[in-house]
Chains A and B, each alone.
Chain A
Amino acid sequence: NAGVTQTPKFQVLKTGQSMTLQCAQDMNHNSMYWYRQDPGMGLRLIYYSASEGTTDKGEVPNGYNVSRLNKREFSLRLESAAPSQTSVYFCASSEVGGTANYGYTFGSGTRLTVV
């Protein structure tokens, strides 16, 4: 019962470097999400995938790209990291349901520092 698995847990990048954050879920959920959490602020949506084969921008998509590799996996890529992208990144998944009261399951997070 792994739920949502994120890798890596910690990462330090230099400005301008690129990296991919990996996320996989084993609950057969259709929808997957990437959020960032910054001190003193609520989680903000970066990108989401309502179903396999679709991706859409969230509230703060600039500087990021995503790939929904298959139903289980949803990756987040930073092409040229900037210090402003220092944050904790959470992947989440949920069942499909427009306004239904479906639950979200979150991963444990990736703590990224860009120096």
Chain B
Amino acid sequence: KNQVEQSPQSLIILEGKNCTLQCNYTVSPFSNLRWYKQDTGRGPVSLTIMTFSENTKSNGRYTATLDADTKQSSLHITASQLSDSASYICVVSALSGYNKLIFGAGTRLAVHP
């Protein structure tokens, strides 16, 4: 069964600190992996997209890594800001007729001053 598991479920950090969120998946055949940020009451917004051949992708203070062999990904946030408080969702795309997306349940991050 295609699944995407994220950890931790929630995380609290102090402003200015770094953090790393984890994503494990059992999606086959794999197409690509995406990280989204979802602010409360808003829709998800794309941060990064990585294909099988890419093992790192950055977007400002956000850096995603992908290990296709172990089927693991991480999202590292550097020098956190209060505006980083949100849910971060890992999404894996499976090769199919319509590019099926499998969503993780997300990690809820709270950045405190």
Q: Which residues of A contact B (CB under 8 A)?
A: 4, 31, 40-45, 48, 50, 56, 90, 92, 97-101, 103-104, 106-109
Chain B hits for A106, CB < 8 A: 43-45
4 closest A-B pairs (Cβ-Cβ)? A42-B103, A106-B43, A43-B103, A99-B31
Given contacts A42-B91, A104-B46, A108-B43, 5 further A-B contacts (CB under 8 A): A42-B102, A50-B98, A56-B98, A99-B93, A109-B42
The answer to whether the Cβ of B109 comes within 8 Å of any Cβ in the partner chain is no
The answer to whether the Cβ of B99 comes within 8 Å of any Cβ in the partner chain is yes
Q: Which one of A42, A97, A98, A104 lies within 8 Å of B105 (CB-CB)?
A: A42
Alpha-carbon separation in the docked complex, A40 to B10 (Å): 11
Alpha-carbon separation in the docked complex, A100 to B43 (Å): 22
Chain B hits for A48, CB < 8 A: 98
Q: Verify A98–B99 contact, CB threshold 8 A.
A: yes
**A interface, over-half SS:** loop
The answer to whether the Cβ of B111 comes within 8 Å of any Cβ in the partner chain is no
Mark out the residues of chain B between 29 and 62 whose CB falls within 8 Å of any chain A CB in the assembled complex: 31-32, 41-46, 49, 51
The answer to whether the Cβ of B79 comes within 8 Å of any Cβ in the partner chain is no
Alpha-carbon separation in the docked complex, A41 to B89 (Å): 11
Q: Verify A42–B89 contact, CB threshold 8 A.
A: yes
The answer to whether the Cβ of B95 comes within 8 Å of any Cβ in the partner chain is yes
